Amino acid sequence: MCRRFALSILAAIPLALSAGHAGAADINVVGAGAIEEPFEALAAEFSRDGGHKIHAIFGPVGGMAAKLKGGEKADVIVLSAAAMDELDKAGSLVAGSRVELGHATVGVAVKAGAAQPDISTPEAIKKMLLEARTIAYTNPAAGGTAGIYLNGLLDRLGVAEEVKKKSLLQTSGSATAAAVANGAAEIGITFTSELLPNKGVKVIGQMPQSIGLTVAYVAAVATGSQQAETARALIAYMARPAARDHFKEAGL
């Protein structure tokens, strides 16, 4: 995002918020599960300040993109940069409204208090995958970015057949964390931003850089939004320095 655009959207915040008190808007958000926790917290602040109502749904990127193609209404869309590129090409995003909010990185978690395996090298990851009794991750068929990545990684490491026999495929990253917290899975692998909110798990760390995955998440105003001004203000609110810090604390 260029500095000129950053300054312009930040300057729009007080105007949009003051207008919101006079006539509150309903804003529909379709977003990726990886950004759910910080986005919802900041959206609640935005609602209190401006009187607007935020209606948000979150889930695997592929699933959310499918919902949008199926006619799901949105004023603000927050998905991976790759998915947003596709929406941009299809004319689904307002030109010039894209703002990068953060980067999610795939990590590994165990149940809080459990022994922590070594994940420092690709060889250590392979050993962990083979020795773990059960492994939870997002079902690739649901369109989850982390799940699709892990499926490919298992093939690259040559352990796909062994690991898939003991995999517990989940509907989302938060469900992956829950499966580890409740003891159903020994290991959980998904974006750290989806693991950290669950206090029942311990995030060991990120996957080794040479085999890891980091994904940029981008927000934009949806074409056809009837609340484009307020939608822009919401995105600007998410792009403030204080909001950036919140995203970083959430693992983004």
Q: Is 143 helix (H, G, I), strand (E, B) or coil?
A: coil
Q: Of 23-37, 42-56, 189-203, which has the strongest mean pLDDT?
A: 189-203
* pLDDT value, residue 18: 44
CA pseudo-torsion sign 59, 85, 76, 232: positive
* pLDDT value, residue 20: 41
Tokens describing residue 84: 């947003």
* Section 215-228 average pLDDT: 95
* pLDDT value, residue 173: 92
Q: Is the pLDDT of residue 15 over 70?
A: no
CA atoms within 13 A on the CB side of 60: 24
Q: What is the pLDDT of residues 187-197, one digit of tens each?
A: 999 999 999 99
| Cβ within 8 Å of residue 10, ≥6 positions away | 236, 239, 240
118-122: list long-range contacts, CB under 8 Å, 24+ apart.
119/204, 119/205, 119/207, 119/208, 120/208, 121/208, 122/157, 122/208, 122/210, 122/211
pTM over 0.95: no
Residues of 169-178 as b/e, b for ≥16 C-beta within 10 angstroms?
bbbbbbbbbb
* pLDDT value, residue 171: 92
For 155-217, the three-class secondary structure string (H helix, E strand, C coil) is HHHCCHHHHHCCEEEECCHHHHHHHHHCCCCCEEEEEHHHHCCCCCEEEEEECCCCCCCEEEE
Mean pLDDT check: name the lowest of 43-47, 79-83, 128-132, 178-182. 43-47
CA distance 192 to 206: 7
Q: Using an 8 Å Cβ cutoff, are 168 and 179 in contact?
A: yes
What phi, psi does 200 have (nearest 5°)?
Answer: -85, 0
For residue 67, how far is the Cα from the chain centroid?
Answer: 16
Q: Provide the 10 A C-beta neighbour count for residue 90.
A: 11
Residue 4 vs residues 21, 105, 208, 237, 239: alpha-carbon distances, Å: 27, 28, 36, 16, 13
- C-alpha torsion 203→208→211→213, nearest 10: 50
Domains defined for the chain, CATH in brackets: 3-103+216-249 (3.40.190.10), 104-206 (3.40.190.10)
Q: What is the pLDDT of residues 83-95, one digit of tens each?
A: 999 999 999 999 9
CA distance 238 to 57: 17
